[in-house]
Amino acid sequence: MGQEISVSYQAVKSKVYKLIDALVEDAKTEGDVQESVKRWWKLVHPADRPVARKYLLMVLARSNASLEAITDSLLQFKEFEAVPDSDSEKLHKMPSLSSHAQVGTRV
């Protein structure tokens, strides 16, 4: 049979963080990440899928909570708010974090 992959919590977390890092670093597009997840899922043995799903949703929920905590703390930090918006325009346009808030529920 095909390649066997680990579905331990650590392995799933590592996979998710690698995909997030690739997206942040512009090494992958959102579509590339979605395709990677689909390919990974197909490699998960059907008997292991309930555990893989549980760990994947757990990692996504915790990652999302971390991003929300960072965003909330920055928005409440006066020194962060004092930076003119013109500086942030130098970065390429990115969708707001709130548009990705449902990521943990769409697997």
How confident is the model at residue 51, as a pLDDT?
Answer: 97
Q: Is the pTM of this model over 0.75?
A: no
Contact 55, 12 (CB under 8 A): yes
| Length in residues, the chain | 107
Other CB atoms closer than 10 Å to residue 87's CB: what's the count?
Answer: 8
| pLDDT tens readout for residues 52-78 | 999 999 999 999 999 999 999 988 888
**What pLDDT, on a 0 to 100 scale, did the predictor assign at position 85?**
73
Residue extents of the structural domains in the chain = 9-105
Query: What is the 3-state secondary structure of 39-72?
Result: HHHHHCCHHHHHHHHHHHHHHHHHHHHHHHHHHH
Q: How far apart are CA 52 and CA 74, in angstroms?
A: 33
